Chains A and B, each alone.
Chain A
């Protein structure tokens, strides 16, 4: 199971939880798994062209990725953040 950090912008979907678990071998499939349990969450993070939204950031451990095809291992942690880009 992949550990997923949920930012404050998305905790309304997870019942307030900031750390949840999900399964999947890629960023996209992990988000798909989250979306099954928390409907609507994925589209707030990834647009209809499978692009990470402009003001969202996704890290696997300490490495940022903008590609939803990036692979994960079960031991990886996936972190979702709202980007800081101003005030």
Chain B
């Protein structure tokens, strides 16, 4: 595996691997796995590359977690998937697991799962059994932060991202669509909103304590005090211990805007990150603005952005890239990967300077992750 780059592709109808040598030129698909099942997230464990977890459900059946302990060769189902207690006071049941996050480096075997309806679960045995995180799921404000709703747009409300501070296993952030960013410093026992100066243009109070829609958050790998956020209402950055977000998306071109799902920081430069803008005007088409797909990169912390569209369709390219469907690898130069809802995978091996389609005709892509390089 040392000289191989592997992408893990989760789709609405199963999962695939895309494999390449270290040159990242020629890609070959392997799969399908779990054909017909909805794979919201397929993730490799950077602490043990043989461990992979997949968040699976189907149109009919209840949700589960599929586990591989041999790098994806064989799979078994979790003995106890994420589920609320049978006496849950709100009568909740997990509809699907949306986000899977390997735990802190100091806690081998620990994983976290973000689910819909919005809830958090923890496993200490590589995903075989899961327990609800009472500090969040039973928080006194849980129904304020996560109003009950069976359906939402587009796929129902879910915990949209889990981020763990690499310096401290107790310090975590969640991205949520109805409470914005939540923070814990005691590994989930208590939580507080972290949304100062993040806009809500769909609420009477445009800057509430909570209510924001955090599409994705990510820490700079070389500076865990720097948080990047792609929000429903723009691109933001926060440098801790500060608490006030800056809307760095204001520097994006007006005709493109700063709406999107994904944000990907550079593995070695805290000033650099990528977004993939989508049309968030009028009825929210969620496609590439003007039908001209492009990534945008900042190399100065968000003070300016540069368009990166070489290789993408010049016109009539109506890409939708969901929040889990854009990733970077740790190589130098960094590789970037994105999957579209029309089943295409695009890659750049030169930090976004040029793009190439490396797979097509897959089902609707929900997630693209990279098997991390050996530690």
Which A positions have Cβ atoms within 8 angstroms of B?
7, 9-10, 39-40, 43-51, 53, 55-56, 82-83
- Given contact pairs A40-B64, A43-B62, a sample of 5 additional A-B residue pairs in the complex whose CB atoms are under 8 Å apart: A10-B61, A48-B83, A55-B59, A56-B60, A56-B61
What is the minimal beta-carbon distance from B150 to any residue of chain A, in angstroms? 9
Residues of B within 8 A of A (CB-CB), count: 19
Instruction: Judge if B70 is at the interface, Cβ distance under 8 Å.
Output: no
Most buried by A among B59, B83, B91: B59
Question: A48 with B61: in contact, given A39-B79, A43-B81 (CB under 8 Å)?
Answer: no
Task: Compute how far the CA of A40 lies from the CA of B80 in the bound complex, rounded to whole angstroms.
Answer: 8
Question: A53 with B60: in contact, given A43-B83, A48-B84, A48-B94 (CB under 8 Å)?
Answer: yes
Question: A44 with B61: in contact, given A49-B86, A49-B88, A50-B86 (CB under 8 Å)?
Answer: yes
CB pair A49–B91 under 8 Å, yes or no, is yes
Task: Compute how far the CA of A40 lies from the CA of B85 in the bound complex, rounded to whole angstroms.
Answer: 17
The A-contacting residues of B in range 141-184, CB under 8 angstroms, are none
A7: nearest chain-B partner, CB-CB: B60
Interface of chain B, helix or strand or loop or mixed?
Answer: loop
Instruction: Judge if B77 is at the interface, Cβ distance under 8 Å.
Output: yes
**A56 cross-chain contacts in B, Cβ below 8 A:** 60-61
Task: Compute how far the CA of A19 lies from the CA of B88 in the bound complex, rounded to whole angstroms.
Answer: 34
Cβ 8 A contact of A53, one of B62, B78, B84:
B62
CB pair A44–B91 under 8 Å, yes or no, is no
Instruction: Judge if B58 is at the interface, Cβ distance under 8 Å.
Output: yes
**A46 cross-chain contacts in B, Cβ below 8 A:** 62
**A9 cross-chain contacts in B, Cβ below 8 A:** 58, 60-61
CB pair A45–B61 under 8 Å, yes or no, is yes
CB pair B88–A48 under 8 Å, yes or no, is yes
Task: Compute how far the CA of A13 lies from the CA of B47 in the bound complex, rounded to whole angstroms.
Answer: 31
The A-contacting residues of B in range 79-114, CB under 8 angstroms, are 79, 81, 83-86, 88, 91-94
CB pair B62–A45 under 8 Å, yes or no, is yes
**B86 cross-chain contacts in A, Cβ below 8 A:** 48-50
Task: Compute how far the CA of A10 lies from the CA of B36 in the bound complex, rounded to whole angstroms.
Answer: 13
Cβ 8 A contact of B93, one of A39, A48, A55:
A48
**B85 cross-chain contacts in A, Cβ below 8 A:** 48
